[in-house]
Chains A and B, each alone.
Chain A
Amino acid sequence: MQTLSSRWVGHGLYLVIMAALISGVYIAGQKINYTWHWERLWPYVINTEAQDIVAISDGTAVIDAKGTLSIAPDFGGDPQIVSEYDQLVAREGDLIFQGDTIARIEGWRFGPIAEGLWVTIKLSCLALIFSIVLGVLFGLMRVAQGQVWRNLAVTYVEVIRGTPLLVQIFIVYFFIGTVFDLDRFTAGVAALSIFTGAYVAEIVRAGIQSVSPGQMEAARSLGMNYTQAMIYVVMPQALKRTLPPLAGQFINLIKDSSLVSVISITDLTKAGREVVSGSFAPFEVWFTVAGLYLLVTGVLSWAIQRLEKRLAASD
């Protein structure tokens, strides 16, 4: 029972320390004379304010019996018809100029932070899939019989690991992107996939080499060819052992995705920078951005732990 009670003491001590840390941060926040405006942040995440409906061209407002507003353009053409709105701004017979607010509509839409989060998730998921493909491919080449495959794989891994991701993003966007006419998003996914793929390749290689050579021999002695032995015997065992380092690598991938903001992809980090200049609430914005990154990495980490537990059935 000694161990059980000492565990509870440990948990309690942990809570005390965390409470002290958090209140320290809070007091520090008070001391610097900063006015916290968490409410300013909200519209940048989910915007519930009424949206303005603006006139497309100059014209005259006409409201019919059903309440439908239409703007008959001064210089001919089809009228702009607005049938769904919550509040009318224009009145019957008003002269309207292009860009005037003619009505407002209630409802909500995602703000820049939510949209940035979505871009980060999309970017990370695509890069994750491609980096697994690249990593498994080059990891297998690294342990292949043919010298040419091994040389190619070593070159890929060393070149990519030896240069900074930021520089790679610039090269992929400005050089490869120009040659193949890639848009920003594709270039960002490509750079992240190629970068992470090199690390995944090393993890896969280590995983394969950690499986005892006897496993390959047993599989081959049963008449399996090299590919079958890899797919049915070696890789399933290697995968299980590589899951913990892979989890770390994929968490890095999500965090590294913040670097693509340098080629003007509006991911979570770039959205954060833009919102700071609009809301004048830098502390709130950056804490929120950090929290959202933590949420995404936390979900991934949890999912991989689940997978690990399922694969542990044969232990």
Chain B
Amino acid sequence: MTNTHLIQANGVNKVFPNGCHALKNVSLNINRGEVVVIIGPSGSGKSTFLRTLNQLESISAGDITIDGVDLTDKHTNINKVREEVGMVFQSFNLFPHKTALGNVMLAPVKVRRQAKAEAEQDARDLLYRVGLHDRIDSYPSRLSGGQQQRVAIARSLAMKPKVLLFDEPTSALDPEMVGEVLDVMKSLASDGMTMVVVTHEMGFAREVADRVVFMEDGELVFEETPERFFDSSHPRLQRFLGQVL
């Protein structure tokens, strides 16, 4: 019953032009509504793997299927796929020339051809949902890091994606702002959003994840439910957890 998986990655390999072999035979299936957290030391390929899921990074070998669409097929319109796969970046990447509202509205209006008034109402609702209804007309430069990241999450949600990818969403934040972003992510998870999260927040992994994946040196070393994951005696995992906890 492999068709029930929303995301299927099979034997994914990525070799960068400089010869760096960043992903080695990574295979991972993700179900609808599942929250998968990927952890691992820096340079382990976890961000690269995440970026292959919306083809910000092309792959050298293997195949990835999202909701039945083969990303490696030359006839696949990658822009259509990306409409369904939201992404939240470590450095927020908000559009600095647009207000919070403008950031959230832009893609629905320009890509989905949604009517402006309707898109604005949706954007207001989303900003309310991430707790920023009072900062709607603020430009990103006037928002704190945590607020910017919440706008970025609202911006991704505005496209009503089937899956959200988080690339170290809290790593660029001051410690006191990590909580507000994680809270938004927790509420998304409890609403049934399919999420793939690269993070160093072990607490989030333990509390929210359905599955935790450990990557090292471009390999997917180990995947387990959080309870078993953090109690595992896998030597490479133990070494890593010993360093971060």
Chain A window 204-240, contacts with chain B (Cβ cutoff 8 Å), 1 for yes, 0 for no: 0000000010110111111111001000110011001
- The verdict on B114 contacting chain A, using a C-beta distance below 8 Å, is no
Closest to B95 in A: A233
Q: Give the number of chain A interface residues (Cβ < 8 Å).
A: 22
Q: Given known contacts A224-B111, A313-B139, is B95 in contact with A240 (CB within 8 Å)?
A: no
- The verdict on A3 contacting chain B, using a C-beta distance below 8 Å, is no
Q: Tell whether, in the assembled complex, residue A222 and residue B97 are in contact, meaning their CB atoms are under 8 Å apart.
A: no
List the A side residues contacting B110 at CB < 8 Å: 224, 228, 232
List the A side residues contacting B79 at CB < 8 Å: 220, 223-225
List the A side residues contacting B159 at CB < 8 Å: 222-223
- The verdict on A35 contacting chain B, using a C-beta distance below 8 Å, is no
What is the distance, in angstroms, from B90's C-beta to the closest C-beta of chain A?
Answer: 9
Q: Tell whether, in the assembled complex, residue A220 and residue B93 are in contact, meaning their CB atoms are under 8 Å apart.
A: no
- The verdict on A64 contacting chain B, using a C-beta distance below 8 Å, is no
Instruction: Find residues 49-95 in chain B having any chain A CB closer than 8 Å to their own CB.
Output: 54, 56, 79-80, 82-83, 85-87, 89, 91, 93-95
Q: Given known contacts A222-B107, A233-B95, is B156 in contact with A217 (CB within 8 Å)?
A: no
Q: Please, how many angstroms separate the alpha-carbon atoms of A212 and B80 in the complex?
A: 24
Q: Please, how many angstroms separate the alpha-carbon atoms of A233 and B110 in the complex?
A: 11
Q: Given known contacts A228-B110, A233-B95, A237-B97, is B80 in contact with A223 (CB within 8 Å)?
A: yes
Neighbour of B93 across the interface among A217, A232, A236, A315, CB < 8 A? A217
- The verdict on A314 contacting chain B, using a C-beta distance below 8 Å, is yes
Chain A window 245-261, contacts with chain B (Cβ cutoff 8 Å), 1 for yes, 0 for no: 00000000000000000
Q: Please, how many angstroms separate the alpha-carbon atoms of A240 and B139 in the complex?
A: 15
Q: Tell whether, in the assembled complex, residue A218 and residue B82 are in contact, meaning their CB atoms are under 8 Å apart.
A: no
Closest to A213 in B: B93
Closest to A236 in B: B97
What is the distance, in angstroms, from A308's C-beta to the closest C-beta of chain B?
Answer: 13
- Please list the residues of chain A having a beta carbon within 8 angstroms of any beta carbon in chain B: 212, 214-215, 217-225, 228, 232-233, 236-237, 240, 311, 313-315
Pairs across A and B, CB under 8 Å, 20 listed: A215-B93, A219-B95, A219-B107, A221-B85, A222-B106, A222-B107, A222-B111, A222-B155, A222-B156, A223-B79, A223-B82, A223-B111, A224-B79, A224-B111, A225-B79, A233-B106, A237-B95, A311-B97, A314-B98, A314-B141
Contacts A212-B91, A214-B91, A228-B111 supplied; 5 other A-B pairs, CB < 8 Å = A220-B82, A222-B83, A222-B155, A223-B112, A224-B107
